[in-house]
Amino acid sequence: GAGVSQSPSNKVTEKGKDVELRCDPISGHTALYWYRQRLGQGLEFLIYFQGNSAPDKSGLPSDRFSAERTGESVSTLTIQRTQQEDSAVYLCASSFLGVGYTFGSGTRLTVV
């Protein structure tokens, strides 16, 4: 596609439920990144994919968070047993050879 596509754009979920967030990178972009941004805060790195491997998953806050990627295509970020502190905007970005990082418009997650 022309840009990075994320879905859903908004998600309200009850505490304790699992959620799955999806990211469709720009076609041909080998690298894919997930970030989290809490209200009024900076971007917090979660995980980085090169192809379908994850050289750096050091930012995942707990074992409730996991992510996978199919080839050089779609990635899903799964949060199990959501907590209120998980409420944030989850941003995905993709790039090719370290240039042209492009962000999607994010998924706004609200845990009630």
The DSSP annotation for 50-78 comes to: ETTEEEE-TT--STTEEEEE-TTS-EEEE
Options 27, 41, 52, 110; binder of another protein; rule CB under 8 A: 41
By beta-carbon proximity to another protein, the closer residue of 93 and 111 is 93
Question: Restricting to residues 60-89, which ones interact with another protein according to CB under 8 A?
Answer: none
35 binds another protein (CB under 8 A): yes
Interface stretch with another protein, choices 8-16, 49-57, 67-75, 78-86 (CB under 8 A): 49-57
Token duo for residue 67:
């992510």
Q: How far is 52 from 71, CA to CA, in rounded Å?
A: 5
